[in-house]
Amino acid sequence: MGELLENSKSEWPELVGEGLTSWSDFLAQPEIGLSVREANSLINLSKYIRATGVPARDLNLSNVKFALSKGIPADSMVADMCSLSLKDFKERAHDVVVAKQDNAPRTYTYLVMKRCNETGNLSRVYDVDDTKLADIVKE
């Protein structure tokens, strides 16, 4: 849709002939039904997808929209855009891009939980530092 709008943006007067005087009038037609803002975001999304060099069907659209909104370069995290869920992609983007830009610390911490073998209840394990957590995760 974005590519079609991008091509139509310069040629819309020839496409409709008489009666419409502006790009916003062209987009407001019942057949199209978009605002200028929506059309521009679809055009930008299309350009961003083309810049990744990967077919659109292989990309996770939620990840692409997130990357575009955060200003992540199109060619920097293509493999992650294809394979990760949105939540995982946000964490990866923070690790790769955001943390490098402003050295921001994480806004959350991990809790270590243990499950009782008899009842199945969960309880929190206290006093676990980063090195102990790394050892636990490796097990």
Domain boundaries, the chain: 1-52, 55-105, 109-139
Q: How far is Cα 77 from Cα 95, in angstroms, rounded to an integer?
A: 11
| Nearest of 131, 136, 132, 130 to residue 114 by alpha carbon | 136
Strand-strand pairing, 112-115 and 122-125: antiparallel
In Å, what is the CA distance from 40 to each residue of 60, 61, 104?
20, 17, 32
- pTM for this one? 0.61
The sign of the CA dihedral 101, 66, 77, 1 is: negative
The sign of the CA dihedral 96, 98, 103, 104 is: negative
Show the tokens assigned to 109.
Answer: 């911490």
| Residue range 57-70, pLDDT digits in tens | 888 888 889 988 88
DSSP class of 118: T
Those residues whose C-beta lies under 8 Å from the C-beta of residue 56, and which sit 6 or more positions away, are 49
| Residue range 85-112, pLDDT digits in tens | 888 888 888 777 666 666 666 666 777 7
Q: Look at 105 and 11; give whichever has higher pLDDT.
A: 11
Rounded to a whole number of angstroms, the distance between the first and last alpha carbons of the chain is 48
